[in-house]
Amino acid sequence: MMNLKEGAHMIYDLFLFIGIAIIYITETVILTLVPHRYRAKSIKNEIALITGGASGIGKLIAIKLAKLGAHVIIWDINQKGLAEIAEEIKKAGGKCYTYYCDIANKEEVYRIAKAVQTEVGNVNMLVNNAGYVYGRTFMELPDCEIEQTFKVNILSHYWITKSFLRDMMKNNHGHIVTIASVTGLVGTYKCTDYSATKFAAIGCHESLFTELKVHGYDGIHMTLVCPYLINTGMFNGVKPRLMPMLEPEYVAERVIAGILTNEMLIVLPNIIKYLLPLKCLFPIKMSWALMYHILKGPQIMMTFKGRELKSTTNNSDKTTNNKHVYK
């Protein structure tokens, strides 16, 4: 039987929960009514690192950050793309530093991170954007491709974030952006490896957010981005039925807006955020039917062509041709 002390604690916790809920709901309503331009922070002279920034939305995010005055650092394995974006940003008057870095290699990540800190300075804005997908059903997935997907999509987040978080914590200042996916919220056909890594990326992001807040690092902001399919060629052959693929420019613009206003969660398109609770509220069979057959059902992903395994290439070819496909 519950004693008086336990009852008092329960009542206290209940009122505390209600009070906090009212405060945050009120804050959310107020911030929603205030236009972004009045809430935007300055990122001038901030040092921003973007992984997979030589193409796709990573490249667009890097260009936009540079235009806002940030000193941009780009990691990629696309040497041609690195040269092109560096030239583009510098021609526009921005500052850009590029590094060839295979983020699937832990030792290389730590080595390049030290070089960045010595040659450029302490990174206080990190965008974990690089991603990899193979695109086969579970039994068709080669072991090496499963390992590669995990190395790029989630394990690299640990090595990269650990490399720069210590300095952010010293100054209680920074911003970490995780580009995850709607496939990290809803399991997806032909993506048992990819979806698993995106679920992991979301869990890692949310757990780190909690740790930083518990230990008083309120000056380090975190933004989690979960977009629907993006028209970058990563999901080659996919033809969505109800919602068209997102355009890279739109996604990059929303990411930048989220950074400038310290937005915690961005789900694109926004309607998916309101559909996801159905997964838990409805009977499991019904919710699975809704989520998987309407949002990202097999009928859609069956057209996903995926990638070819380049098992016959030599080691040097694998370095340039059989690694990451960046968002």
Going by the DSSP 8-state scheme, the letter that residue 154 receives in this structure is I
Q: Is 194 a catalytic residue?
A: yes
DSSP string spanning 12-59?
HHHHHHHHHHHHHHHHHHHHHHS-HHHHPPP-TT-EEEEETTTSHHHH
Q: Are the C-beta atoms of 172 and 285 separated by less than 8 Å?
A: no
Partners of 178 in the beta sheet? 128, 224
Q: How much of the chain is helix, strand and coil, in % rounded to 5?
A: 55, 15, 35
Strand-pair partners of 266 = 225
End-to-end CA distance of the chain: 56
Residue with structure tokens 């998916």?
Answer: 272
Tokens of residue 252, six digits: 């990059």
Residue 128 CB neighbours (<10 A): 26
Token pair of 47, please?
């040092």
User: 132, 194, 217, 228: which one is catalytic?
Assistant: 194
Q: Which residues are catalytic?
A: 194
